[in-house]
A and B are shown apart, each in its own frame.
Chain A
Amino acid sequence: MIGALRSELTRLAQPRLLLTWFGLMALFAAMVNTIMVTFVSGGGSLPPGAPGVAFPTLAQMESPSGLMAGLAAASSMFGVITLSFWALATATDYSSGLIRLLVAAEPRRWRLLAAKVAALALVTAAATTVAAVVNVLVVMPAAGTAGISTAAWGTDLLNVVVSAWLHLYIAVCVWGVIGLVIATLARSAAVAISVGVGYLLVVESLVKMLKDVPSDWLLGTTLGAVASGGTSAVSFGAALTLALGYVTLGLVAAGLVYIRRDVTD
């Protein structure tokens, strides 16, 4: 199992892949923090069901957790990026034909799948760290310029940073697993990314606009709540339980297909 994990990590260690992944995480962290600070300081509020982002209030920004608020605000965006790279890493094995070589070398396919999930989770930890670092580097000068008080940001600093990182990490890993599941089923990164982005930007937004339909169970909402450490509508525990349910279901489906399906590509 360790061998399969090290093998998978070796294949993921492609400079261009990692640079793009980490670069996008950094770019979105910088962009969202800049926009968020400008938006919050101007007293703006997002329309209900706005896709992909959930900005805090000015009071929340000026609280100790305001320092890391950008991570939760853009968790869906980070999620889609993670989904895309997990899908890409999975589907490329099929499109390149590498899956033949891998399964011939390690016929216990569950090991290959488990190693892929573990390796991608490790790289996702690094990508989340990049987003967290860029978040801190951008939000502090941006808040100062926008006139947002940062006096409380030093309070309980370690706890704020670690929990924000952990909440985002769990949320994006679930997004990643969704990408892996769709890519395994479809054997196509393009399909997985299209479904992921389409779901977040179109399906979930449309459902949220329907007033009579509860939306707390929706994937984006659930993972947004996980990334925020819980919201007024969904507690962290409930969101985490639901997210783990999504992961379990997805991994069981992907695992069955991955193990049982003929490798004919």
Chain B
Amino acid sequence: MSIITTTRLTRRFGPITALDGLTLELPSAGVIGLVGPNGSGKSTLIRTLLGLIRPTEGSATVLGSPITSPADYAARVGVLIESPAFVAGLSAHANLVSLARLRGLPLARVDAVLAQVGLQGRDREPVKRFSLGMKQRLGIAAALLSDPELLILDEPTNGLDPAGIVEIRELLRELGRNGRTVIVSSHQLSEIEAVCDHLVVIRFGKLVFSGPMAEMLKRTREHIDIAPEHVADLDRLQAALTAGGWAVAAVDDVLRVTASISRSADLNRAAMAAGITLRRLELAQDNLEEIFLEMTGRTDGELASGRAATNGTVAA
């Protein structure tokens, strides 16, 4: 069963089209990454699914209920939308008590989720004294409060230190393993790659990719990074390899050759034939970030959409 479906979902803000006929089906259970450049429509999609904004056209369902009736599924969904928002003058505990009362939950859940995100012991301090990382943990605790079937987390590791990131990564994995669906929207592609089972890529409000992470990573290409012993030989080496039919690109003081590891000896021989000794020969593989940039372009999304809007074409 799909936990979320959207059919030609469109949302316009004046001349800007934030969601452009998005049709999507997300599987239930597991961790789903939602990625896209700035202004791609991720936040608009999340807000539309939560009933915070209404679509201009199209329809969607969350947990089987239409988004026109968000009250039908709100109790089963936990959210962290953009930066965590709390009453600064109240303690972490009081903030969660307020949300627990709003949702009609037992107050025992407050202590449970505070322990789950590692905030026990600091929960009686006013939120205004919290660092960004602690606020982020509190935001995740608020999202977990109703023990929801579906968790939607926007940039959950924002502001966390490396140890905190690892901790939250483990928490997300664990949540996804326990029959829950966790949707993580993030710019940290290494995080997405590390925790997600399924990936959704959107750009200019349109779907670019939706499928298992493994399928996305199949698109990776192997390449070999090489560097001559003397930097001055870089141009000569590049010319010789190109003449020999190799696909070569210069990246700083390294040449990136698109080829599998099985051809590394051939590559070395080609360099030797050109009279150049290599000081480095290293196999590398595209990561999610490189595939993402390949799919969505290497320009900031908002700048690109601004240019597109200026030209009278599709914008995000």
Contacts and interface: CB of A to CB of B under 8 A. Distances in A.
A13 B87 CA distance: 11
Interface stretch (A29-37, A100-108, A137-145): A100-108
A107 to B, nearest CB: 4
A105 B102 contact: yes
Interface string B82-107: 11011111100011011101111000
Contacts of A105: 74, 99, 102-103
A145 B89 CA distance: 42
A104 B99 contact: no
Interface in B118-169: 142
A264 B50 contact: no
B85 A13 contact: no
Contact of A7 (B83, B86, B89, B101): B101
A3 B103 contact: yes
Nearest to B103: A105
A107 B47 CA distance: 12
Given A104-B52, A104-B74, A263-B52, A17 B103 contact: no
B306 interface: no
B47 A263 contact: yes
Contact of B98 (A11, A15, A16, A96): A11
A94 to B, nearest CB: 10
B212 interface: no
Interface residues of A, number: 29
B102 A97 contact: no
Nearest to B43: A264
B81 A100 contact: yes
A98 interface: yes
Contacts of B70: 107
A98 B89 CA distance: 13
A10 interface: yes
A14 interface: yes
B201 interface: no
Nearest to B11: A262
B183 interface: no
A101 B85 contact: yes
Contacts of A15: 89
B211 interface: no
B214 interface: no
> Which of A3, A100, A102, A264 has the most CB atoms of chain B within a 10 A radius of its CB?
A100
B52 A102 contact: no
B90 A11 contact: yes
A4 interface: yes
Interface of A: 3-4, 6-8, 10-11, 13-17, 92, 96-108, 262-264
30 contacts: A3-B102, A3-B104, A7-B102, A10-B97, A11-B87, A14-B87, A96-B86, A96-B87, A97-B81, A97-B85, A98-B86, A100-B82, A100-B85, A101-B79, A101-B81, A101-B85, A101-B99, A102-B102, A103-B50, A103-B52, A104-B74, A104-B79, A104-B81, A105-B74, A105-B102, A107-B71, A262-B52, A262-B54, A263-B53, A264-B53
Q: Which 5 A-B pairs have the closest CB atoms?
A: A97-B85, A7-B102, A107-B70, A262-B53, A10-B98
Given A105-B74, A262-B53, 15 more contacts: A4-B101, A4-B102, A7-B102, A8-B98, A11-B95, A13-B94, A16-B89, A100-B85, A104-B50, A104-B51, A104-B81, A262-B47, A262-B54, A263-B47, A263-B52
